[in-house]
Amino acid sequence: MAELIAGVVRQAGVGENTPLAKVRRAWPRVVGRSLAEGARVLRLEKGTIVVEVDSAALGQELAVYHKARILKCLQEETGVRLGELRCRQAGRA
Q: Does a structural domain hold residue 9? A: no
pLDDT band at 1 (very low <50, low <70, confident <90, very high): low
**Is 10 domain-assigned?**
no
Domain that holds residue 22: 16-89
Measured distance CA(43)–CA(66) in Å, rounded? 19
Which one of 32-36, 68-72, 87-91 scores highest in mean pLDDT?
68-72
Residue 13 has pLDDT above 80, yes or no: no
Give the number of domains in the chain. 1
- Angstrom distances, CA of residue 48 to CA of 7, 16, 91: 22, 19, 20
Q: Report the CATH number that the domain containing residue 69 is assigned in CATH.
A: 3.30.300.180
**pTM score:** 0.79
Query: How confident is the model over 59-75, as pLDDT tens digits?
Result: 999 999 999 999 999 99
What integer pLDDT is reported at residue 33 of this predicted model?
93
Please give the mean pLDDT across all residues of the chain.
Answer: 89
pLDDT of 14 above 70:
no
Per-residue HEC secondary structure of the chain comes to: CHHHHHHHHHHHCCCCCCHHHHHHHHHHHHHCHHHHHHEEEEEEECCEEEEEECCHHHHHHHHHHHHHHHHHHHHHHHCCCCCEEEEEECCCC
**Is there a domain that residue 4 lies in?**
no
Instruction: Look at 13 and 28; give whichever has higher pLDDT.
Output: 28
Cβ contact 30:89 at 8 Å:
no
Residue 67 lies in a domain: yes
Answer yes or no: is 54 within a domain. Answer: yes
